[in-house]
Amino acid sequence: MIISKPPFCPVQFQGPELLDSGFHASADMHAVWARMRDETPVHRVDPGGGREPFWVVTRHADVSRVLRNHGEFTSRRGTILCVIDLDTADVATDDMLADTDPPRHREFREPLNKAFGPPVVTEHEELIRGLARATLRPALEADVYDIATPTMMFQMAVTGTLMGLPAESWERMVELTMMTIAYDDPSYSTGSAQATVRQARHELFEYFREEFQRRTRDDSKPDVMGVLRAMDLTEGPLSERQALLNGFVLLIGANVTTPHALCTLFTLMAEHPEQFRAVRENPDLHQSCLEEVLRWASPVTALMRYAVHDVELGGQTIRAGEPVSAWLGSANRDERVFPDPYTFDVTRRPNQHVAFGVGPHYCIGAGLARRGLRIFLEELLDMVDTIEIAGEIGHVASHFVPGFKSMPVRMTPRKVAAR
């Protein structure tokens, strides 16, 4: 298939390449998705090599239906488009927040909401603001500064604090997080894809095991690990295995979204200095700016579901049990929902993006992520006068996250800061 739709260049594309991490890092995926939305919005891919065929859903309405309707599309068999085989099962049916359907999903979600709710965010607002300033300050003091890794550490510090994880482990946790979602990337790979993921999971699970065993049900703090330690399910207290699985998935979910949204913010403000000035001059644009950044970034590329029964979708029949991948990055550029979708517009309203998903599995940390991004934007506007991309950007090789592993920037400080 050859893709050529303005403003894109032609892209050679074969279905199995949707599982190729290198293809995602080098190709213009929006060119791929644009043609698929027009011609094959519900597309069956057979990757070969003994791997299971799967469906690719690219339109906003269809993506929303797949993610909303657990009666048609279940999460219990896994939610990640996995392309490698591990010795241990990759699915934690009914034992992990991500791999559940309602009502079981609510048993995990409702207690964990306390660890991510507005009071918690308010309590840590000054910490988040200080971390944002500390992230930006070296960029203002250097001529050229690679800000990709510092943004990862910014989010890890926020996540580590809310989860109650020891600070001395944060740097390694960032590395391990990237190893789980970018196992083919030379910057994170430690050998084969399987070996890389096994090592990352083993180390992360050991971190969570030590913290879980250190806590007791009576003296647990109101952080994520404390909530997990005190959680009760229908069958009784949360087991150690369930705690490790949920700690793992929450860490991955937090650390692979916000840092890459921040890097997207830097690139967009550099490319659109007039909109950067408009947002600085009009605080009413702060939230709409961030929503547009989230639409543009789509920090998670795709999520997986499985058909509960035969389903008609986009003129195709998806058979019971077949895997269905819902492509959030494509849905967020759907011309049927977003006028002029390839134009970045900080005034865009409404903005029905699905960057945090939709339905029962809507990102549990979306409120925290939005507040963290809002605080970071406020500090950026206060401290930085201009942003320039000062070298080649390095993209993460991953079909799960359209992330950044290097971003050299040149930032000039504001002469008069409000704070």
Q: Which is it for the CA torsion 103, 251, 134, 413, positive or negative?
A: negative
According to the model, what pLDDT value does residue 19 have?
Answer: 79
Token pair 């990337």 is found at 185
Token pair 């991955």 is found at 252
According to the model, what pLDDT value does residue 416 have?
Answer: 59
pLDDT digits (tens, 9 = 90+) for 248-263: 999 998 887 889 999 9
Element (H, E) at 261: helix 258-271
Q: What is the mean pLDDT of the chain?
A: 90
Tell me if the bond preceding 103 is cis, omega within 30° of 0: yes
334: left (phi over 0), alpha (psi -120 to 50) or beta: beta
Q: For the beta carbon of residue 173, count every other beta carbon within 10 angstroms.
A: 23
Closest CA to 29 of 331, 379, 338: 331
CATH number of the structural domain 2-413: 1.10.630.10
DSSP code for 58 = -
Element (H, E) at 42: strand 42-45
pLDDT band at 175 (very low <50, low <70, confident <90, very high): very high
- Report which residue type is found at 310: D
Q: Supply 192's token pair.
A: 């084969």
Element (H, E) at 304: strand 302-307
Residue 16 has pLDDT above 80, yes or no: no
Phi, psi dihedrals of residue 386, rounded to the nearest 5°: -140, 155
Residue 184 and residue 186: Cα distance in Å, rounded? 6
